[in-house]
Structure 1
Amino acid sequence: MNKKFFPKTLIQKLLFTLIIMVGYLIGRELPLYGVDLAAYDAFRNTSDDLIMQTIGGDRYKTSVLALGISPFMFSMLLVQMIVATKNADGKSHTSPKKVTRVTLIVMFIWAVIQAFFTAKSTIYVYQGGLELIIAQIIAGIELVTGAFIILWFATRNGKYGIGGQTILIYVNILDGIVNTVRGTELKNLILIGSISIAALIFTVIFENSEYRIPMQRISIHNIYSDKNYIPIKLNPIGMMPVMFAAAFFMLPVYVVMALSELFPKNQNIIWLKENMDTSHVLGVCVYVAVLYVITIVFSFVFISPKNLAENMQKSGDSITGLRTGKKTKRYISIRVFLIGLYSAFFTSLFIAVPLYLAIRGYVPQSVMSLPSIMIALASINCNLYREIRAVKDYDAYIPFI
């Protein structure tokens, strides 16, 4: 076997990832206790709400892995937001072990909340009484357990495989695309397919483009001094807005569902419950608003103008023509905000327009989320390509002894 094209480390990582994917696919076929699988046969040829399917374990919420990667994503992002509010010294005194512990606690709480609503809305073979209650409790326990099994898959793949937790999202994306395209007539794919291709091209360009803030380093005074800059990707957090907006979109959904349980006869709450999804105008508006917030907030979390300004002040570096300190922080913050707003606008455009076209009846609801899926797919492919290149470069090094 040619090691130039098939590096040993890369093959090992790909094989491990393949094993993780097989295990994940098997888990998606293990039904919850007492679930009425026959009742879901009517939905086998439909593929509604593809956005939610990408972070879910299976399309019909009937397996032990039905919660998918959502609890882990939600808890990880929430904890990262909290950590990001600390200054550089505060972060240095925050141990990774403590962050992991808090993340797991938040994940457990969120998984229990999701499991409660999922188990309650699942169709069981039992019609009522004590048997139905027991089935819902057991299903809820299985769902929470499944969420932590997915966490184990994600962490193991991150350590020994390729793609980390995104490979599980990748499986859901491919499953959603195959089932959607297979069950849709070609004439219904022309318009949405064109938008999807445009979304894919846009994502690839943004993933490989960056905004550069010129800076001066006190240690460089040669011909390379004019090549120093702070790079900021035009798509600062990649596919995260699409995926994580879906996770955070469930917050208002669960709030409305909880209110409907407390006030079952309130007509306003009933209306909110019926319209709080991506097949209604209200749900689309809420989803797009969440996407904007996610994109801008997490652009600041991952780029952190505050930390950049503090580190530059400590090292003596500065942005060209600007003093270090508060002015530098303000300058970077404005740029990050504008870039986040710019990215959110185009991302939401490729998501909101197809959803609106579906509501108006111009495209089938089963394919309305294809452009957002293509954004996620393109972003993941770009990241996988970079990771594979890095592994190949690692294998290219020849041991000295």
Structure 2
Amino acid sequence: MLRAFRDAFRIPDLQRKIVFTLLLLAVYRLGNTIPTPGVNTANLAQSANNSLLGLIGMISGGNLSQFSIFALGVLPYITASIVIQLLTTTIPALEKLSKEGEEGRKKINQYTRYSAIALGAVQATVFSVFVSSNTANIAVGWTPGLFTLLVMIMTQVAGIAFTMWIGERITEVGIGNGISLIITAGIIARYPAEIAATATLFRDGNTSVLSLIAFAAIIIVAIVGIVYVYQAERRVPVQYARARGGAPEGGAARNYSGQATYLPIKLNQAGVIPVIFASAMLILPTLIQQATATRAPAVSAFVQQYLAQGGVWYTALEVVLIVGFTFLYNSVQFDPKRISEQLREAGGFIPGVRPGSATASFLGTISVRISLWGAIFLALLVIVPQLVQRWTGVTTFVFSGTGLLIIVGVALETLKQLEAQLTVRRYDGFISKGRIRGRL
């Protein structure tokens, strides 16, 4: 698959797409260096590792530490996409739109953009209030108040809209996967500084060579495992019955033999969505602890003792939420009853399984088993990095299973798109040569 990158640079059209994509990603990274007006970035950086800001900081490439104009990045769009995707399977009007082809998808994308802007305005308000609540976070020359708060909110909403525009341009004009590439660029942007900090840790004698080698080896094993699980799928065989076609003029009816194919069910159907949902839910203990610090010290102390980030109970709750959200998301996205009805309408059946309710039950059992293994995989991606950092003592490099899953998944999808575009161009070139030879 890596040959796709090499072959892509040999085709001028794909070269332009790659360069255009890189330029837009550079614009996005440039915007991450511009702080929001009225923010004291030096003081804000000290609180950027708060669990309330950790998930956004990872996705946005750490630009939340200076509350840049792209601080929220594509997070509102991701959340809106997930919500619209879930609502599509439950609201008949949206489900009807999703089946109307390209026009229906355009309408759903439009609803997603509007929802992202509305949700982004709410998130921008929450984080702007959070930042401005500490007067030390207000820059010199600015005064805490409504005007400063409105400037922060409007800047963030404009940044969200511009980030979505960049993602759409990459998808339409560039190499595709615009929003995913922006997220990946944000995660990778943190690696150079973290690698330099890790090298400093080794140079100062605070860690051993063996620990660094073990740390690097575990990262490589994790990447290999992610690639394997990401591409793993259960292929359920499907057989289509023999069909009898209509008789042409002056001829007999034609018999078409049955076609054998398969129904692919991915091992990790939900991707990183359960991890994102679980991380969002685990923000609540931090908010409760901060809200009850003065009014209810006993509640605050309980949350800090048992639900502190990195603790045993915190990790156990995170695993439970990941497993629960994995089953919930897969049950919404993969409907065995609907798939069995579609198979029966198309004249297809699973060998050895009766059509109808028996097929739905068979597919439901497979989906539950696969969801269990997918949930275990996601839980390990969350737990293992924490254990590795404690064992090796390398805390300067943020070894995030979620980040690796996003990077590997986006890389594989981008490679597939490049291969598809290369295949189309080779086919077009073959057809063009055939036409020229025919004319000669």
CA–CA distance in 1 between the matches of 2:382 and 2:307? 16
Task: Report the number of matched residues.
Answer: 393
- The aligned counterpart of 2:152 is 139
Q: Which has the larger radius of gyration?
A: 2
**Contact 2:242–2:258 (8 Å) recurs in 1:** no
Aligned residue type for 1:234: L
Aligned residue type for 2:112: T
Aligned residue type for 1:64: I
- The aligned counterpart of 1:287 is 318
CA–CA distance in 1 between the matches of 2:407 and 2:97? 37
CA–CA distance in 2 between the matches of 1:326 and 1:86? 23
Residue 324 of structure 1 pairs with residue 355 of structure 2 = yes
Residue 91 of structure 1 pairs with residue 124 of structure 2 = no
1:102 Cα shift? 3.8
**Contact 2:97–2:105 (8 Å) recurs in 1:** no
Deviates more, 1:297-306 or 1:174-183: 297-306
**Contact 1:27–1:64 (8 Å) recurs in 2:** yes
Deviates more, 1:161-170 or 1:121-130: 121-130
Aligned residue type for 2:178: G
Judged with a 3 Å threshold, the aligned counterparts in structure 2 of structure 1 residues 259 and 336 are, in CA distance, closer, same or farther, namely same
- The aligned counterpart of 1:111 is 120
Among candidates 209, 217, 228, match of residue 261 of structure 2: 228
Residue 212 of structure 1 pairs with residue 235 of structure 2 = yes
- The aligned counterpart of 1:267 is 297
1:24 Cα shift? 0.4
After superposition, the C-alpha distances for 1:204-247 in whole angstroms (9 at most, x for unaligned) are 1122332111121114899985x521112223244x34xx6235
- The aligned counterpart of 2:410 is 380
CA–CA distance in 2 between the matches of 1:214 and 1:3? 35
Q: Which ranges in structure 1 are unaligned for 5 or more consecutive residues?
A: none
- Normalised to the residue count of structure 2, the TM-score between the two structures is 0.77
After superposition, the C-alpha distances for 1:135-186 in whole angstroms (9 at most, x for unaligned) are 2331122112212221111122111112321111111121122222221135
- SS of 1:99 mapped into structure 2: helix
After superposition, the C-alpha distances for 1:357-394 in whole angstroms (9 at most, x for unaligned) are 55x57534443534443232222221111111111112
- Normalised to the residue count of structure 1, the TM-score between the two structures is 0.83
Judged with a 3 Å threshold, the aligned counterparts in structure 2 of structure 1 residues 155 and 251 are, in CA distance, closer, same or farther, namely farther
1:37 Cα shift? 2.3
1:77 Cα shift? 0.6
Superposed CA RMSD:
3.6
- The aligned counterpart of 2:189 is 175
- The aligned counterpart of 1:391 is 421
- The aligned counterpart of 1:352 is 383
Judged with a 3 Å threshold, the aligned counterparts in structure 2 of structure 1 residues 318 and 341 are, in CA distance, closer, same or farther, namely same
CA–CA distance in 2 between the matches of 1:209 and 1:366? 32
Judged with a 3 Å threshold, the aligned counterparts in structure 2 of structure 1 residues 54 and 13 are, in CA distance, closer, same or farther, namely farther
Judged with a 3 Å threshold, the aligned counterparts in structure 2 of structure 1 residues 206 and 129 are, in CA distance, closer, same or farther, namely closer
**Contact 1:211–1:233 (8 Å) recurs in 2:** yes
Judged with a 3 Å threshold, the aligned counterparts in structure 2 of structure 1 residues 264 and 134 are, in CA distance, closer, same or farther, namely farther
Aligned residue type for 2:218: I
- SS of 1:155 mapped into structure 2: helix
- The aligned counterpart of 1:148 is 161
- SS of 1:183 mapped into structure 2: helix
CA–CA distance in 2 between the matches of 1:166 and 1:97? 19
- SS of 2:178 mapped into structure 1: coil
- SS of 1:228 mapped into structure 2: strand
Residue 39 of structure 1 pairs with residue 43 of structure 2 = yes
**Contact 2:323–2:372 (8 Å) recurs in 1:** yes
- SS of 1:35 mapped into structure 2: coil
- The aligned counterpart of 1:76 is 81
Judged with a 3 Å threshold, the aligned counterparts in structure 2 of structure 1 residues 311 and 190 are, in CA distance, closer, same or farther, namely same
Q: Which ranges in structure 2 are unaligned for 5 or more consecutive residues?
A: 1-5, 99-103, 203-207, 244-254, 436-440
Residue 67 of structure 1 pairs with residue 72 of structure 2 = yes
Identity of aligned pairs, percent?
Answer: 19
CA–CA distance in 2 between the matches of 1:105 and 1:62? 23
Judged with a 3 Å threshold, the aligned counterparts in structure 2 of structure 1 residues 300 and 109 are, in CA distance, closer, same or farther, namely same
**Contact 2:326–2:371 (8 Å) recurs in 1:** yes
Judged with a 3 Å threshold, the aligned counterparts in structure 2 of structure 1 residues 304 and 24 are, in CA distance, closer, same or farther, namely farther
Aligned residue type for 2:192: V
Judged with a 3 Å threshold, the aligned counterparts in structure 2 of structure 1 residues 288 and 140 are, in CA distance, closer, same or farther, namely farther
